[in-house]
Amino acid sequence: MSFEESEYGEVKEKPYSRSKMKLKHIRMIKGEKLRSIVVARIRVARLKMWAVRVLIMMLVWAIALQLKALGSPKVPKHSRLSYPLLPERIYHNNGYLMVSSNGGLNQMRTGICDMVTVARFLNVTLIVPELDNTSFWNDHSQFADIFDVEYFIASLRDQVHILKELPPQQKKKASESPFSMPPISWSNMTYYYNVILPRIQTHEVVHFQKTDARLANNGLPIEVQKLRCRVNYQALRFAPPIQELAEKIVRILRGKGPFLVLHLRYEMDMIAFSGCNEGCNDQETEELTKMRYAYPWWKEKVIDSVKKRQAGLCPLTPEETALTLQALGIDPTIQVYIAAGDIYGGERRLATLRAAYPNLVKKETLLPAKDLDPYRNHSNQMAALDYYVAAESDIFVPTNGGNMAKVVEGHRRFLEFKKTILLDRKALVDLIDLYRAGAISWEEFSSEVKEAHSDRMGNPTKRLVIPGKPKEEDYFYTNPEECLPQSADHDEP
């Protein structure tokens, strides 16, 4: 403030000082408002910047989750993971592999194991395999109908990237210029590195038309063999409805005591295909022959049934099977579960077996019809039920060396060498014929049968290797030695 002194000595405020004071006050107010406005604008700008940053971070996070979900979907509760999920394997993706599995259930199963292994070591993304819908059984089941697809993808995430379908860009490219081929059978990894990998890198997407027996039995790195086992015995879990129903069958059987699973491969298609008509009447023999000629892909048409049987190349008949089980000393009160379709000849052909083993059962007699109705027109799903029960049984006896017999045998070896009686059909038909002819007594017959099978109980043994003849050597999935540390100390019998 400014003051002045009057002539009377009074002190008076200068007239002009009030104007200055008001002006200064106004300026101060304006300055404060201006600062407030500037500060407010700065705060708004910062808030907007922060909001943009948060939005960008959320967008990036959402995209990352979407990308992650493509190769690592959430595992539903019903999948019941048997071990914690391992971290995803990060690698440079060389391309995409599509496969069409061929054959029946077990032929497709082992082919899938091989394709996962090939994809893993070529560093390519595997598309969930398509299953064969054109085979003799005409089953239109797809992968998710038989196997737990979510578990399959998630449990192998530390090894290979698996997608349910091709990404849009690759799908379009594959539809416009598809590259399909059947890989050479019984190939080692060098073939896949030198021949297949360059083709995948060139075409980005390669489609394998066949998957059965595309990897060699022997001569592969230990890590390759172990991955084949992991896929087969851990990742390929049956779809929850099949798994639960199979477990129900096992519970019913276990509730009544021990049980033997008999893979009685005496269905019409097998008898017609093999040309083995032992025990069939003339009408049945004619019917089987007509069926064999009706399928052009069954190349062998004229078959000498007697000669083939004597060579041990025919599945045992129900009557021969009954004699064999009795000769081996199998308890007549044990439950015998028939893992097969309809037996050719029906109850007439089963009469001898049922008389010897009255506790003869199958899934159709153990379960109410409504439980099996969803599966009746899907032979591979029905086979999956039998596979599970066979793997869990106290004793497994296959009467023919087909794919199911081989794969279940290997699975039971993996399960600490569960008892599997591997029938020597050539020795058996010779002994059965001698016994029926009265040339040897029952005691002699039984003793000879037991002696012939003393080392054929699924015990540890070396896998037979025949260089250059993979079809004649032991199948890897029948005796996966590399996955069975217990067998390393056992010599060849």
In a domain, 403, yes or no: yes
- In the chain, what's the furthest Cα-to-Cα distance? 163
Percent of the chain past pLDDT 70, that is, above it, reads 81
pLDDT at 438 over 80: yes
107 and 189 co-located in one domain? yes
In a domain, 212, yes or no: yes
The pLDDT-based confidence of 32 (bands split at 50, 70, 90) is: low
48 and 197 co-located in one domain? no
197 and 322 co-located in one domain? no
In a domain, 6, yes or no: no
444 and 301 co-located in one domain? yes
In a domain, 77, yes or no: no
Percent of the chain past pLDDT 90, that is, above it, reads 76
Query: What's the one-letter identity of residue 309?
Result: R
Give me the pLDDT at residue 19, please.
47
Residues 6+ apart with CB under 8 A from 223: none
CA 350 to the chain's CA centroid: 33
Which one of 235, 263, 278 terminates a domain?
235
Reported as a single tens digit per residue, the pLDDT across 178-230 is 899 999 999 999 999 999 999 999 999 999 999 999 999 999 999 999 999 99
Average pLDDT over residues 336-352: 95
Domain extent, residue 138, equals 85-235
pLDDT at 4 over 90: no
In a domain, 8, yes or no: no
Average pLDDT over residues 64-81: 42
359 and 450 co-located in one domain? yes
In a domain, 179, yes or no: yes
Reported as a single tens digit per residue, the pLDDT across 355-411 is 999 999 999 999 999 999 999 999 999 999 999 999 999 999 999 989 999 999 999
249 and 385 co-located in one domain? yes
Give me the pLDDT at residue 139, please.
84
Which one of 195, 211, 235 terminates a domain?
235
pLDDT at 177 over 70: yes
Q: Between these two residues, 489 and 263, which has the higher pLDDT value?
A: 263
The pLDDT-based confidence of 13 (bands split at 50, 70, 90) is: very low
Model confidence, pTM: 0.81
Average pLDDT over residues 80-107: 87
Phi first, then psi, for residue 98 (nearest 5°) are -105, 145
| Mean residue pLDDT across the chain | 87
For the chain, the domain total comes to 3
Q: Between these two residues, 442 and 40, which has the higher pLDDT value?
A: 442
Which one of 201, 235, 269 terminates a domain?
235
224 and 295 co-located in one domain? no
Give me the pLDDT at residue 78, please.
43
133 and 27 co-located in one domain? no
pLDDT at 61 over 80: no
Reported as a single tens digit per residue, the pLDDT across 158-169 is 999 999 999 999
pLDDT at 79 over 50: no
In a domain, 2, yes or no: no
290 and 180 co-located in one domain? no
In a domain, 413, yes or no: yes
Give me the pLDDT at residue 14, please.
41
The pLDDT-based confidence of 62 (bands split at 50, 70, 90) is: very low
424 and 447 co-located in one domain? yes
274 and 227 co-located in one domain? no
231 and 254 co-located in one domain? no
